[in-house]
Chains A and B, each alone.
Chain A
Amino acid sequence: DAGVIQSPRHEVTEMGQEVTLRCKPISGHNSLFWYRQTMMRGLELLIYFNNNVPIDDSGMPEDRFSAKMPNASFSTLKIQPSEPRDSAVYFCASRLASGSYNEQFFGPGTRLTVL
């Protein structure tokens, strides 16, 4: 299996621009998570989906952030408009939700820099 795939790996944009981050989970996994990692706040969960349905988006910082999962193999995280404080590494992770606590598999992350 190719693992969780994220694109782009690096994104540099200017304040005010729209940014779209993409994620392809591991085939067969039915839960998908978006995390943000910064030096100041560490790893934070932004939103997660079960069977393509958003379950908890309480971690989404503002209305500027939105996430979709139109099908089981694709998810996007969009920031519009972007701000310098959004600069971070954004991780997507997936897992197979079952009765036990299966581990989450992380993608390589997208390093976002907003100038």
Chain B
Amino acid sequence: AQKITQTQPGMFVQEKEAVTLDCTYDTSDQSYGLFWYKQPSSGEMIFLIYQGSYDEQNATEGRYSLNFQKARKSANLVISASQLGDSAMYFCAMSSHNAGNMLTFGGGTRLMVKP
């Protein structure tokens, strides 16, 4: 079974600063994918970034980067130069072929960016 744990229910960050959102996972699969989604107050789920378990380099997408530490089973999201529009819920999720490519989500972290 797969499990995703996000230990930070809520976080504050000052505008223009960087912030790290924690995510740890548990799986017995060797091949899997890790994802981060953003859910603003409007409710939609927005895909941010993806990391494959065999990818040697950390994924980056603009201001988003994924700090992947396979041995520690962590996949933290780093947002650089925070903006007010980054205030939202952030969900970490994983998928694997053995799990039918279904997404298993963590409980989410609410990020609030202070002006």
* A and B are interacting partners: yes
Q: Which residues of A does B touch, CB under 8 Å?
A: 31, 33, 42-43, 45, 48, 55-56, 89, 91, 93, 95, 97, 100-101, 103-106, 108-109, 111
**B52: A residues at CB distance < 8 A:** 100-101
Would A101 and B101 count as touching, CB distance under 8 A?
yes
Kindly state whether residue B91 has any CB partner on chain A within 8 Å.
yes
Docked pose: A91 CA to B93 CA in angstroms: 15
When A48-B100, A101-B52 are in contact, do A108 and B43 touch as well, CB less than 8 Å? yes
Would B44 and A104 count as touching, CB distance under 8 A?
no
- B109 CB → nearest A CB, Å: 12
**A33: B residues at CB distance < 8 A:** 102-103
Kindly identify, within residues 75 to 115 of chain B, every residue whose CB is under 8 Å from any CB belonging to chain A. 91, 95-96, 100-108
Would A56 and B43 count as touching, CB distance under 8 A?
no
Closest 5 CB pairs of A and B: A101-B33, A106-B45, A43-B105, A103-B47, A108-B44
